[in-house]
Amino acid sequence: MTTSHDGFKDYVLDQLAGLRGVTSRAMFGGYGLYERGTFFGIIHKGRLYFKVAPNTVGLYKEQGMKPFRPNAKQTLKSFYEVPVDIIEDSEHLAEWATESYQSHEGLSQSRKASS
């Protein structure tokens, strides 16, 4: 069964088509976005959220974006909504997605190194 949210997922994936290796999987009542197996984004109820790091969260907050809140009792501050104007500009969206993926990848590597 296709929903309007599936249409938004398709639009986001089209906008990210320039990034090779981006895939989606159903989760959270929405979709998880992956780049070469690394989870970096969420599509939920017609909104897009990217994983943030201490060095990137300011970009989202400056634009008035809020963290992912799948329900009234839960807020995931590691994912922030992507502004509509960024989603509509495939070049900027690819930059933000890459920043999200690379920041997450860098955090994972630094955690492994400190273990």
Q: What is the pLDDT of residue 28?
A: 72
Q: What is the pLDDT of residue 73?
A: 94
The per-residue pLDDT for range 9-26, each reduced to its tens digit, is 999 999 999 998 899 999
| Through-space distance between the first and last CA atoms of the chain, rounded to whole angstroms | 45
Higher pLDDT among residues 38 and 104, named by residue = 38
Q: What CATH number did the domain enclosing 74 receive?
A: 3.30.1460.30
Q: What is the pLDDT of residue 105?
A: 60
The count of domains in the chain is 1
* Cα(27)–Cα(7) distance, integer angstroms: 16
Structural domain containing residue 100: 4-114
User: The pTM is what?
Assistant: 0.86
Contact between residue 19 and residue 94 where contact means Cβ atoms under 8 Å apart: yes
The per-residue pLDDT for range 74-114, each reduced to its tens digit, is 999 999 999 999 999 999 999 999 999 887 665 444 444 44
